A and B are shown apart, each in its own frame.
Chain A
Amino acid sequence: MPIIDFANPTRFLTIANRALPWLIAVTVIVFAIGLFYVMNAPDDYQQGATVKIMFLHVPAAWLGMLGWGLMSVAALGTLVWRHPLADVAGKAAAPIGAAFTFICLVTGSLWGRPTWGTYWVWDARLTSMLVLLLLYFGVLALYWTAEEPSRGARAAAILSLVGAVNLPIIKFSVDWWNTLHQPASVFRMGGSTIDPALLTPLLIMALAFTLLFATLHLAVMRNEILRRRVRSMRLMQAQELAEAT
């Protein structure tokens, strides 16, 4: 099926409605398998049971970054090809990506308390995730303030592309800033590479979270299309009323 067929929102809605139950089922099954593995994963010899936070923390970090990647691709779709579903996809990805970034920061800080002895350090990784969250908030603020959905979508698309150029620079500069000010020895985690006994559950959990992201994204896209339909119907109704009087 060529990609242009998905451009029709009605067609997209039928496909999304058909695919969503299956996606939800697969997500639940993979989560069950992943959580089972996580339960049986051995504790770290140093960190004890707190290492299990990793299975929530690391996938959330990956998906927080994936969300921005998705938004940039959608932004290209909006600005270059004027694909009608691209701005819906971009708008749907923003709150989900922000939520995963937020989860990553919260779990990281809860993990940091027992292992590092503090909830927050101005470490390079933490800080670059925080800046990513701030950029997400900027995009969300653009969507909130725009009066017309299409105009807000194009503004947000430009901002996501600018952010996509800037994110590697920010990441790199924050790394540099950290190594200048703090010795790397203090906040090195464990120092060992991950054991297969921990890696397998991590990868399954990452897959489960990615499926969760896909499910949520599809559901939010569907809701956004319906919301726009409701909006245009209301506008039409208001116009009819205005013409009648």
Chain B
Amino acid sequence: MIAFNALLVRDMRLAIRVGGGALMGALFFLIVVTMMPFAIGPDLALLARIGPAILWLGALLASLLALDRLFATDHEDGSLDLLMMGALPLELSVATKAIAHWLTTGLPLVVIAPLLGLMLNVELHAMGWLALTLLVGTPALTFIGLVGAALAVALRRGGLLLAVLVLPLTVPVLIFGVAAANAALFGATPFGPPFTILCALTLASLVLGPIAAAAALRHGLE
């Protein structure tokens, strides 16, 4: 538990302080959402209809861009090797890193999502539900991306390879996240089923992601 806390605090501190770039994802999210009306046109009715989809896609891309940082810097300065030899099981330390990563890059996205929703003319009464779907869904994106980040660092590649590996695997999260948000907003379908499936996806990726990522690191960096 002490090792878990120490690693969590260390990673969050590194991400928040200068050069960590924790808020870069939120900034990117803001810019993507701002670009959308330029491409689609300033039609508020249309934006209100596709608002949840824009927010979800923006959050997906923003969390994808931040994944590169998950292992790359630790691999460069050698602390990843220390983690692999440490007392904490690699699965657990990888999961800790992912939790710290989500707290510093995923959570800001959830916090500013209602604000961006206002700009997209999303109805106020559903804003809380929309943020809730992002709150539940973005950890799944981080934990699925964890596998891709581990594979990329094991091969000493990053960037586009990471996107090619991770994006197809996030299809279910996107589908159920947008479905739940739309259900909350328009009420045509019940909110419960897609939302519970979204929770299930997050929990499953929470278990499977660290196992696969630890295996990738062990096989790649031995």
* A residues in contact (CB < 8 Å) with B: 79, 131, 134-135, 137-138, 141-142, 145-147, 151-152, 154-155, 158-159, 161-163, 165-166, 169-170, 172-174, 176-177, 180
Q: How far is the CA of A91 from the CA of B169 in the complex (A)?
A: 20
Interface contact A173-B161, CB-CB below 8 Å: no
Interface contact A162-B169, CB-CB below 8 Å: yes
Interface contact B201-A158, CB-CB below 8 Å: no
Main secondary structure of the interface of A (DSSP, over half): helix
Interface contact A134-B168, CB-CB below 8 Å: yes
A-B contact count (CB 8 A): 77
Task: Please count how many residues in chain B sit with their CB below 8 Å of the partner chain's CB atoms.
Answer: 26
Query: Which of B1-9, B80-88, B126-134, B212-220 binds A?
Result: B212-220
Interface contact A173-B175, CB-CB below 8 Å: yes
Query: Which of B92-100, B103-111, B151-159 binds A?
Result: B151-159
Q: How far is the CA of A172 from the CA of B215 in the complex (A)?
A: 27
Please tell me which one of the listed residues B155, B169, B189, B201 contacts residue A152 in the complex, with CB atoms under 8 A apart. Answer: B155
Interface contact B147-A162, CB-CB below 8 Å: yes
Q: How far is the CA of A161 from the CA of B169 in the complex (A)?
A: 12
**B35 touches A (CB below 8 Å):** no
Interface contact A158-B216, CB-CB below 8 Å: yes
Min CB gap B8→A, angstroms: 25
B147 to chain A: which residues have CB within 8 Å?
Answer: 158-159, 162
B220 to chain A: which residues have CB within 8 Å?
Answer: 151, 154-155
Q: Which of A154, A162, A163 has the largest count of B CB atoms less than 10 A from its CB? A: A162
A166 to chain B: which residues have CB within 8 Å?
Answer: 169, 172
Which chain B residue has the least Cβ–Cβ distance from A177? B175
Interface contact A170-B157, CB-CB below 8 Å: no
